[in-house]
Chains A and B, each alone.
Chain A
Amino acid sequence: MSEVQPNRLPVGGLIDRAKPMSFRFDGRTLQGFAGDTLASALLANGVGLVGRSFKYHRPRGILTAGPEEPNALVELRGGARREPNSKATTVELFDGLEARSQNRFPSLAFDLLSLNALLAPFLPAGFYYKTFMWPRGAWEKLYEPAIRRAAGLGRASGEADPDAYEKAHAFCDVLVVGGGPAGLLAALTAARTGARVILCEEDFALGGRLLGDRTEVDGGCGLAWARDVEAELRSLAGVTIMGRTSVVMLHDGNSFAAVERVSDHLPVPPPFQPRQRLWKILARQAVIATGAVERPIAFGGNDRPGVMMASAVRTCLNRFGVAPGKRACVFTANDSGWSAAGDLLAAGVRVEAVIDPRVKVDAPVTAGARKAGIPTFLGSHVTGAHGGHGVRGIEVRKPDGRTERIAADLLAVSGGWNPALGLTSHLGARPLWSPQIEAFVPGKLPPNTQVAGAVRGVFALPDVLADGAAAGAAAAEAAGFRSGAVDVPAASRDATSLSACWRSPGASGKVFVDFQNDVTDGDIVLAHREGYRSVEHLKRYTTLGMGTDQGKTGALLGQALLAEAAGRSIAEAGTPIARPPQVPVAIGVLAGPHRGRDFRPVRRTAGHDWAQEQGAVFVEAGQWLRPQYFPKAGESDWLQSVSREAAGVRAGVGVCDVSTLGKIDIQGRDAGRFLDFVYVNAFSALAVGKARYGIMLREDGFVLDDGTTARLADDHYLLTTTTANAGRVMQHLEFCHQVLCPALDVQMISVTEQWAQYAVAGPHARDVLARLVDPPHDIGDAAFPYLSAAGLTVCGGVAARLFRISFSGERAYELAVPARYGDAVIRAIVAAGEPFGIVPYGTEALSVLRIEKGHVAGNELNGQTTAADLGLGRTISTKKDYVGRTLARRPALQAPGRAVLVGIKPVDRSQRLRAGAHFLAMGAPAKPDADEGHVTSVAYSPALGHWIGLGLLQRGRMRMGERIRAYDPVRNGDQLVEVCSPLFVDPEGARLRG
C-alpha cells in the first residue's frame, strides 16, 4: 500500500490497514484506510494542496486535524447530496467517498482567479465599502454579483435534500462535553456515583489528545487507558456515549443542543436511519471539557500548504500513521511543539530545525532534539515560508538579526493554545485573559456547569486528569449523588511552559491571521488606522473570526495585533463573545422531520375520506383540512363549482362538514352566570333546549369571537367557536374563570374532537333529517322551531345532538354524532338527501351564503371591530356586566365616524369585486388621508347574479345608496360601488324559519 500512499508510515496509527478504502478527490482515485479522515487520507497520498482561499485564491492545504480547520474545505458527494464547505479534517473516510476542491477555476492547481492576489492592493479590509463605490448604480448590477462569483466557497445543490433528519430529547444528571482525558474521567467519576451520564464527543473516536500524542497514563499507553475507561462507561447502565456528536449550543435552563452525525460517515443513510439528529439535552449538571485549539503564528506565507499546526502533525503521525512531509521544521513558542519534533523523529522523518522565539527553554524539553543532533534556534523566528503549491523552504531570523534559509517541505507551528471556550460564552459571559497561558479562559460560568482540563487552561496531563475527576465528582454531587474517593490515574507530566508569540518580527510577504477569510496583519493595522478600536468592530469590518471555522485558530492572533497597534494589552482589548452554534449546523437538521407536508400536524375530520371520494379540493384552516369545494365533471373553474353549490343550497338542500368549529362543554351550577359574564348578551335566561347567537369581547372592548351556544341542561351548555379561534377562546374562558371569577362553579372542556358535525341547509333540510332521526323524536317546526337544540338518536340508535341554527340564512340544522360515526352519518345524510338533490358544499359556498346574509366572519372579526361596528349592537345586554364592557365604552369605540359594516355592489353589475380595496368618497384624492374603510369580503352571489361584498365604511349606515370608489392600487382596481344593506338575501329572515 505504501507505494499507493507515499506518505503512509509503514506501521502505527489507529487506522485499520486491513480495511482499505477507495475515494476520489477532484476526479483522482486514491486509497486510504478505515479510521482515516479525508484530510489524513489526502496527506497519506501526498495531496497537500486541497483548496483555494476565499478572497485571493491562494493555494491552501491542511492546517489542523479538527473542526477548527480554516483551509481544507471541500465539496462532498454529488447530485442532491452535494455538500459544500465540509472540513476535510472532520470528514470520516468511507469507501467510495467523492470529494472536490472548491473556489477554483478551471482547476485547483491552475486557478485563474488567483489573479485576485495581484489586485490585493485594491482589496483591503472593507474594500467593498470603498473601492466599488462609483458609479453608484453599478454596485447592485455589476460589482456585487462579480464579487460574489469570485469569492465565496462551495455551492449548495439546489435540489431537495433526499435524506431524513430527526429531532430527539435526552435527559441526564451529568452531561460531559468532550471525550478527551478530562471528559473521560469526569464521565467515569460521575457515572460511578450512579448518576445518569451522557458523554458527547464530536470525533468518531474517544480519547481527545490521547489519540494524537504518545503520553502515558496509569503506567501504560494513554490510549489504552482511554479504551479501558470507554469500556467501563459502556458497561454502566446509566451512561450514554454519543459519538460523532457536536454540542453546539447552550441555552438557559441547562438545555444543550447537539448534532449527532448519524450517517455522515456512510455513502447514504442506512434504511430507516436519518442523516443527522438534533438532540435537545437537558442536564442537571454539565462538565465542559472541550479542550484547546492550537493557534498559528503570523509570518510571511504562513498559509502555504505544508505549514501545519504542530498538534495536527502529531495527530497525523500517531493517529493516522501519516508523515505529512519528508523534511520538517518546527516553529514553536511553547514546550508542546518540541514534542512534535520528538514524534517526527520517532516516525523517522528528518527534522531540519526547531525554532523557538524563547531565549531559554528548559533542558529536558530540548534534550531529545539536541541528542538527535537537530539544529535548534532559540530566540529566533520563522519570518517566511516559501514555495508555490507547497512549502519548499523557510527563512529563519536569528537573535542577531541575520537570516538563514532552511530547505523543508513541512513546517509544524505552535503559537500557543486557545481554550475552546465557546459553550461557556453562549449565555453571554465574557472570557477572561489569563497571563499564565497567554490566552482567554472561561469567565463567569453558566449555572450548574463545571469546566475541566485544557478548556480552563490546565494543560499538563496529570493535572488534566485530576481536574476531570474533580469536575465529575462535583457535578455528580451537585446533582444529588454521593461520590466516594476519586481515583485519578498517574500520568507522565508533559512540559507546558509557554510564551506568546503573535507575529514574527521582520516577517516578509503576505502574513495571514485569519486564513479562511484571507485577513492579513495589514488588514488589522488598516482597520485600526481607520478607527476600528473595538474587537467587535474589527471582526465585522475585516471579517476576522467569521466563516465556518469562526476564527478558532486565528482570531485571537488578529485581536492581539489590534491590541498591539492600539498600544493596549490583550486583556484590555478583549475578545468577542462566541455565539452559538459552536460548529456549523445544517439547516436540514434544524428543521428535522418538520418539512413539506410534515411542517406541522394536519387535522382531519371524520368526514375527510368521504369528501376525498367526492373529489373535494381541500383548504387549510389552521391545522385542519376542510373541503373548499367539490368540483364536478365539466366545471371549468372553482367559481362555477362554488356557485352551483351555493345555489343548490338555496334551491334545495346542501350539506357541509362543520366539525372543525370549536365545541366547548360548559357545566356547573354557575355555567349560565359565567356565560353572561363572557358574552355581551345574556345566556342564563336561555331555556333548556334552546340555542342563541353570542358575541364575546376582549378586555379591550373589541370583538373576540362569535358563535352559537345551546343549553343542554340546567347546568350544561355547549358553546361553539369559529374554527380559527377555538384554542384562543378556550384559553380566554379558562383565564376568565381562573383569574376573573374563580368563585363560580364552572367546568369547561373541549369536546370538539368528540363530535362530527354536519350542517344540513336549504328548504328541504328538514325533509332530509326526518329520514335520519329515529322516532319518536319530532323535528317538526312546532316541536323544533328555529334555535332549538336537542339530544336524540339517528340512524337506528346513534346518540346525536341536533341544533336548528343557520349560517346560510336557510332553514338549517346541524347534526352532531360521535366521531366514530362521522363517516357513516355523512354517507347516510347524502343518501337520505338524494331525492332532494342534496349538494355537498365546501367553505367557499359557505362563505358565499354567509356574505349574502351579511353574517360576519374572520375577515370582519379582525380584532379592530366592535359589536356596534358589525351591526350587532342590539344584542348587547345593558343589564349585566361582561368582559370588555368598560373599555367598549371608550369614546373612540363609540365615535360616530367609525367604519361600520355595510354591503356593497358594483354599479356596473358585470364587474368583479375584490376584497382589500379601499373606500374613497367620490372626488376624493387617492391618498391615505381620504381612506374611508375597506372591502372585507366578496362573493359572486348566485342568488343575485352579480358580485357583492361586505365592507367597513365610515358612517356607513347613513350612506345607503351612495356611490363610492373601491380603490385597489395593488391590483390596479378602481371601481364604482353602491353602498347597501349587508343583508342581500331574505332580509326578513322568512326562509330561516321555513
Chain B
Amino acid sequence: MADPVMRATPALAGLVKPGRFGAVRDAPGVRISVRDDLEIASVAVRAGARDAFDARASALLSFIPKDGPVRSGNGNMSALGIGPGRWLFLRRGGQGDFAAGLAADLAPLASVSDQSDGYVSFAVGGDCARRTLAKGMPLDLHPAAFAEDDVAVTLVTHIGAVVWREDEQFHIAVFRSYVGSFWHWLSASAAEFGAGLV
C-alpha cells in the first residue's frame, strides 16, 4: 500500500536554498522570497452577471474586484485584473480550500478554477529590484508608470507571467513548469547586485 499521507513538493524543491548569493555587499541589492503561502484561483464573471457578481462579492468577500490591470482586495484576499471580467484571486495563509470556497460563494455568477498549484509566485524587492527585472521584463516598472497595485500580464524572459506591485515589491507569478528556467534567469540577473533569498 502507498503511504496514505501525501507529501506536497514545493515547486522550487532542489532548485534553491535560502541565503545570500551573487556579489558580496553589506546589504543585498535584491531580496527575493517565494510566496508559497498563496492560494490562487482564476475567476471569470458569467455573461450578464456583473451586477449580481459585484453585489455578491461585496457581501461575501467584502470587496468588489476592480476592472482593469489593477489589484484590489480586502487585506487577506486580493484580485488581480487579468482581463475584462477576469481576475486571479489570491489568498494568504489559507487551508487549501480557497477555490472551492470561492466557487461556492460566487456560484453561478462566476467560473472559478483552482490555480494554486499552477502558479509559483515570487516577491522581488530591494534597491536593485527594478534593474534586475529590466533584464527580462519589457515593462516600465518606474513608479510613475507602474504604481503600487498595478498589474500586468506579460512576458518575463520569454515566460508568461502575471506581475503586480504590492508592498513596494514586485510580485511575479509564473506557471509552475517554468519555475526552473525562471529561477535561473532571476538568480543570474540579480547576482551582480548581491541577492538574498528568504
A interface residues with partner B (beta carbon < 8 Å): 164, 166-171, 196, 271-273, 280, 282, 593-594, 598, 600-606, 609, 624, 665, 667-670, 715-716, 743-747, 749, 751-755, 771-772, 795-798, 818-825, 827-829, 831-832
Binds A, one of B55-63, B70-78, B164-172, B182-190: B182-190
Q: Which among A600, A603, A605 has the highest number of chain B CB atoms within 10 Å?
A: A603
B2:A798 contact, CB within 8 angstroms: no
B11:A832 contact, CB within 8 angstroms: no
Known: A272-B191, A668-B47, A747-B46. A754 touches B6 (CB 8 A): no
Shortest CB-to-CB span from B129 to chain A, Å, is 14
| B38-50 near A? 1/0 per residue, CB < 8 Å | 0000101111100
B111:A604 contact, CB within 8 angstroms: no
Partner of A747, one of B48, B111, B118, B137: B111
B140:A168 contact, CB within 8 angstroms: no
Known: A771-B1, A828-B6. A668 touches B46 (CB 8 A): yes
With a CB–CB cut-off of 8 A, which chain B residues contact A624?
177
B8:A754 contact, CB within 8 angstroms: no
Partner of B10, one of A670, A820, A825: A820
A798:B6 contact, CB within 8 angstroms: yes
With a CB–CB cut-off of 8 A, which chain A residues contact B192?
272-273
Known: A196-B142, A601-B182, A832-B1. A820 touches B46 (CB 8 A): no
23 A-B pairs with CB atoms under 8 Å apart are A169-B138, A169-B140, A272-B23, A280-B138, A598-B184, A602-B178, A603-B175, A747-B45, A747-B86, A749-B115, A751-B115, A753-B118, A754-B115, A795-B3, A795-B4, A796-B5, A818-B114, A819-B117, A820-B117, A821-B7, A821-B8, A824-B8, A832-B1
Give A476 to B73 CA distance when docked, in angstroms: 37
Q: Determine whether B101 belongs to the interface, using a CB cutoff of 8 Å to chain A.
A: no
Give A556 to B147 CA distance when docked, in angstroms: 50
11 further contact pairs, Cβ within 8 A, besides A609-B13, A795-B3: A168-B134, A272-B23, A601-B181, A603-B178, A665-B111, A753-B117, A753-B119, A772-B2, A819-B118, A824-B7, A832-B2
B178:A601 contact, CB within 8 angstroms: yes
Shortest CB-to-CB span from A604 to chain B, Å, is 6
Give A282 to B134 CA distance when docked, in angstroms: 12
Partner of B135, one of A168, A604, A716, A754: A168
With a CB–CB cut-off of 8 A, which chain B residues contact A593?
157, 185, 188
Partner of B118, one of A167, A751, A823: A751
With a CB–CB cut-off of 8 A, which chain B residues contact A798?
6
Partner of B47, one of A745, A752, A797, A832: A745
| B1-44 near A? 1/0 per residue, CB < 8 Å | 11111111111011000000011000000000000000000101
Of chain B, the residue at the smallest CB distance from A666 is B111
B2:A828 contact, CB within 8 angstroms: yes
A771:B177 contact, CB within 8 angstroms: no
Partner of B177, one of A744, A751, A753: A753
Shortest CB-to-CB span from B112 to chain A, Å, is 8
Q: Determine whether B159 belongs to the interface, using a CB cutoff of 8 Å to chain A.
A: yes
Q: Which among B23, B45, B176 has the highest number of chain A CB atoms within 10 Å?
A: B176
Q: Which among A282, A600, A745 has the highest number of chain B CB atoms within 10 Å?
A: A745
With a CB–CB cut-off of 8 A, which chain A residues contact B115?
749, 751, 753-754
B46:A669 contact, CB within 8 angstroms: yes
With a CB–CB cut-off of 8 A, which chain B residues contact A832?
1-2
Partner of B134, one of A169, A665, A797, A821: A169
Of chain A, the residue at the smallest CB distance from B107 is A715
B185:A821 contact, CB within 8 angstroms: no
Known: A166-B189, A603-B178. A754 touches B113 (CB 8 A): yes
Give A271 to B13 CA distance when docked, in angstroms: 27
With a CB–CB cut-off of 8 A, which chain A residues contact B159?
601
With a CB–CB cut-off of 8 A, which chain A residues contact B138?
169, 280
B140:A754 contact, CB within 8 angstroms: no
Partner of A604, one of B119, B180, B188: B180
Known: A166-B135, A272-B22, A624-B177. A796 touches B6 (CB 8 A): yes
A754:B181 contact, CB within 8 angstroms: no
Shortest CB-to-CB span from A237 to chain B, Å, is 11
With a CB–CB cut-off of 8 A, which chain B residues contact A795?
2-6
Give A811 to B188 CA distance when docked, in angstroms: 47
Shortest CB-to-CB span from A863 to chain B, Å, is 25
Partner of B6, one of A271, A752, A825: A825
With a CB–CB cut-off of 8 A, which chain B residues contact A752?
118, 175
With a CB–CB cut-off of 8 A, which chain B residues contact A606?
9, 176
A171:B142 contact, CB within 8 angstroms: yes
With a CB–CB cut-off of 8 A, which chain B residues contact A796?
4-6
Shortest CB-to-CB span from B106 to chain A, Å, is 11
A754:B118 contact, CB within 8 angstroms: yes
Give A927 to B181 CA distance when docked, in angstroms: 48
B113:A602 contact, CB within 8 angstroms: no
A818:B142 contact, CB within 8 angstroms: no
Give A451 to B178 CA distance when docked, in angstroms: 44
Q: Which among A604, A716, A832 has the highest number of chain B CB atoms within 10 Å?
A: A604
Of chain A, the residue at the smallest CB distance from B112 is A667
Known: A196-B142, A744-B47. A828 touches B3 (CB 8 A): yes
Give A602 to B108 CA distance when docked, in angstroms: 38
B113:A751 contact, CB within 8 angstroms: yes
Q: Determine whether B116 belongs to the interface, using a CB cutoff of 8 Å to chain A.
A: yes
Give A74 to B187 CA distance when docked, in angstroms: 36
With a CB–CB cut-off of 8 A, which chain A residues contact B9?
606, 820-824
Of chain A, the residue at the smallest CB distance from B185 is A593
Shortest CB-to-CB span from A669 to chain B, Å, is 7
With a CB–CB cut-off of 8 A, which chain B residues contact A168?
131, 134-135
Shortest CB-to-CB span from B20 to chain A, Å, is 13
| B114-136 near A? 1/0 per residue, CB < 8 Å | 11111100000000000100111
Known: A273-B192, A601-B158, A754-B117. A819 touches B6 (CB 8 A): no
Partner of B176, one of A271, A745, A753, A772: A753
Give A715 to B142 CA distance when docked, in angstroms: 43
Give A741 to B42 CA distance when docked, in angstroms: 22
Q: Determine whether B52 belongs to the interface, using a CB cutoff of 8 Å to chain A.
A: no
With a CB–CB cut-off of 8 A, which chain B residues contact A273?
192
Partner of A605, one of B7, B44, B48, B177: B177
| B93-113 near A? 1/0 per residue, CB < 8 Å | 000000000000000101101
Of chain B, the residue at the smallest CB distance from A667 is B111
Of chain A, the residue at the smallest CB distance from B194 is A272
With a CB–CB cut-off of 8 A, which chain B residues contact A820?
8-11, 117
With a CB–CB cut-off of 8 A, which chain A residues contact B175?
603, 752-753
B116:A668 contact, CB within 8 angstroms: no
Give A606 to B8 CA distance when docked, in angstroms: 11
Of chain B, the residue at the smallest CB distance from A817 is B6
Q: Determine whether B198 belongs to the interface, using a CB cutoff of 8 Å to chain A.
A: no
Shortest CB-to-CB span from B33 to chain A, Å, is 18
Give A238 to B103 CA distance when docked, in angstroms: 46
With a CB–CB cut-off of 8 A, which chain A residues contact B46?
668-669, 745, 747
Give A752 to B118 CA distance when docked, in angstroms: 7
A715:B108 contact, CB within 8 angstroms: yes
With a CB–CB cut-off of 8 A, which chain A residues contact B158?
594, 600-601
Shortest CB-to-CB span from B83 to chain A, Å, is 10
With a CB–CB cut-off of 8 A, which chain A residues contact B8?
820-821, 824
B185:A819 contact, CB within 8 angstroms: no
A668:B111 contact, CB within 8 angstroms: yes
With a CB–CB cut-off of 8 A, which chain A residues contact B23?
271-272
With a CB–CB cut-off of 8 A, which chain B residues contact A271?
23
With a CB–CB cut-off of 8 A, which chain A residues contact B177?
603-605, 624, 753
Known: A601-B157, A609-B14, A745-B46. A171 touches B145 (CB 8 A): yes
Give A745 to B49 CA distance when docked, in angstroms: 10
Give A744 to B131 CA distance when docked, in angstroms: 44
Give A860 to B137 CA distance when docked, in angstroms: 38
Shortest CB-to-CB span from B177 to chain A, Å, is 4
With a CB–CB cut-off of 8 A, which chain A residues contact B136?
167
Of chain B, the residue at the smallest CB distance from A753 is B118
Give A593 to B138 CA distance when docked, in angstroms: 15
